[in-house]
Structure 1
């Protein structure tokens, strides 16, 4: 990898298409257990590069639907147990592919609503783990399907707010350490629930802008290395809080561009590391969010 001034769009498209076809690659198998989310990242990356037409739409739709469990939820792959993370990705994918009419909405809604607990939190699956990620990933598909009425939104909002810390950030459960990923899910959930006015945007915005390091990248919490995916969690949260100008966008852009693989395509977590579909997607997201005028066709 080397320094770049532009987004290597053609190489990134090639990288995504290769993942779809190269079933012998390490990356193909290392995400086998979360294939639905991997497909979501890849398809969304192609959308951001205005290249969705290069994907086999019907093949993608059939694959996503094949991952649905009789309970209504979706697993990370065919015949896998259902989980809210993959259910969220599946609904988002079908929305992107304009195929929500192929979905049994009532079954999906029944599955998601069954995950809400008495305190307003959501578990990820039948085994009961609770995490604010699951609150967000439950609310997103319900919002897409216009079925937020299926859960107790007042309790859902109250629970998310209970996970806020003295520093303005949010953790995975009440009292847990503030983390950029959890902040994204909590701010996103509150945006869906109409609760952004209950956040002190200045306090949280200060915590978020402190995540920028001298090289321009953003980390997820204090004393950690910069990572492209955390750049997205931070930038999108700042955008929802209308504080996106609190970071140096030019330095962040340079950091992300320097994480590109100029031979095989794709974006890595940091310069010099191996590119993958996860960081490629989030790198493109930041490019579009911070620099909406960026030319993704160069």
Structure 2
């Protein structure tokens, strides 16, 4: 085992991290990732979101009327197109996304038949899952064309995905991971859809994210409206999962976990979040003081292992030396390096610095100023910079370990919430840069315009439809200017359809 220090000098090595993620994007990942083949969508998100976070937002000098200079983009326009095509190729025709191309099936495999209803039914539903769907949508926003942000979600089957998401909710409000075909009985050939996956707080958070990204504010009589999930049941399920020690578990009878606390608070935040701009949880519905004590108690004083222990197990080498910091100790003198764990009796881990700090940032948005407690941010920052920031770029799980894309991204995420220079402004509820959230909002507007017909119909779009339907040039039927009102577009389509019917009869 190497020494605990990874060679950090207290400074964010942004260029080194960018090179690390560029290598991960453009070359094969190490063989240790083979077991994650089914979650390639997730790996792709961590890599591309990290490069986005490391790309500075261009700013113009004060008083300079010229546009700000564009930074060197880590992704070319061709890269963006290829990633977009790769993501959309994993979309299930009946809603949701697969986690990997190895789960995407030939088109005919998605066609099923319900013999009782004598109607088509979705086939192979289990190839789509909630986590892959959320990461797919975030990826599409990350690679959106800056010149056409409203096209970010073009090609996404919005209504089908929202219906599929609703089918994953259980009566108690929780969400499963996938829908699977199960035999209707012993020896039966007929199957029925079953919600699979545990009652996991992560699925609840992800479901609230997918809903916020895609749903919009359509009313029941609007085109594109889809019946909503049971929001109250989901919020109730999340709130009842607080445990005796103030943390959050899969349920109130399970072990509390900082990651679950993040998912619970962020999930509640997204259920109340406005379509654009930042929102807050109007009423957390949990015992906030107990939750704050639980989060503050995740801090531990990190000490380097003795020389004769340097080759020990990284999960145990520092365990005997940990001393929990009380909530009150945060305001007083702190050790030089403070790590955070996710559960009692666990060692410090890069990702838990994020899960705790992200949860605290969300709690600060509570009415009245929110939480009045914090972690020891500067010692926690030094722990990341000096102990888990790696020489080749990225961050490791434990001091002395190798970097991986998961811990590397979450290491950058927590530094962004701390306002680290060189990183973009960060949205703690969605775990992406604020610039990416802007792309999500624009992409949703584009989807809703598509559902409702938009304010104006592009003449080029109508011309193309006319040529496909009527089999002739649309300009020979109606001549218009550069654009037309939606009603006029509808009249033109009626004429084109009439022309098509005449050609069919002939």
Structure 1 match to 2:411:
283
CA root-mean-square deviation = 2.0
Q: Could you tell me whether the CA contact under 8 Å between 1:109 and 1:147 is conserved in 2?
A: no
Give the secondary structure class of the aligned counterpart of 1:53. coil
Structure with the larger RCO, 1 or 2 (CA within 8 Å, 6+ apart):
1
Give the secondary structure class of the aligned counterpart of 1:217. strand
- Larger strand proportion, structure 1 or 2? 2
1:58 aligns with 2:73: no
Whole-Å Cα distance in 1 between the matches of residues 213 and 143 of structure 2? Answer: 13
Whole-Å Cα distance in 1 between the matches of residues 216 and 130 of structure 2? Answer: 16
Q: Within 5 A, what are the aligned runs for 1:83-102?
A: 83-98=129-144, 99-102=152-155
Whole-Å Cα distance in 1 between the matches of residues 374 and 204 of structure 2? Answer: 27
Structure 1 match to 2:402:
274
Runs (4 or more) in structure 1 with deviation over 4 Å come to none
Structure 2 match to 1:200:
287
Give the secondary structure class of the aligned counterpart of 1:213. strand
Q: Could you tell me whether the CA contact under 8 Å between 1:12 and 1:266 is conserved in 2?
A: yes
Q: Could you tell me whether the CA contact under 8 Å between 1:67 and 1:74 is conserved in 2?
A: yes
> Structure 1 stretch 42-51 or stretch 194-203: which is displaced more?
194-203
Whole-Å Cα distance in 2 between the matches of residues 188 and 261 of structure 1? Answer: 29
* Alignment partner of 1:135 out of 204, 209, 214: 204
1:74 aligns with 2:201: no
Deviations 1:29-64 (A, max 9, x none): 343211101111111111110179312211111111
Unpaired runs of at least 5, structure 2:
1-5, 57-71, 104-126, 145-151, 181-195, 218-226, 273-280, 303-337, 365-370, 425-506
- Larger helix proportion, structure 1 or 2? 1
Structure 2 match to 1:295:
422
- Give the drift of 1:82: 1.1
- Give the drift of 1:199: 2.2
Q: Within 5 A, what are the aligned runs for 1:5-44?
A: 5-23=10-28, 25-44=30-49
- Give the drift of 1:277: 0.6
Give the secondary structure class of the aligned counterpart of 2:284. helix
- Give the drift of 1:12: 0.9
Cα distance change, pair 174–68 in 1 and its aligned pair in 2 (3 A): farther
Deviations 1:89-138 (A, max 9, x none): 11111123332123121121122111011111101112522211111111
Unpaired runs of at least 5, structure 1:
none
* Alignment partner of 1:115 out of 168, 172, 175: 168
Q: Could you tell me whether the CA contact under 8 Å between 1:238 and 1:244 is conserved in 2?
A: no
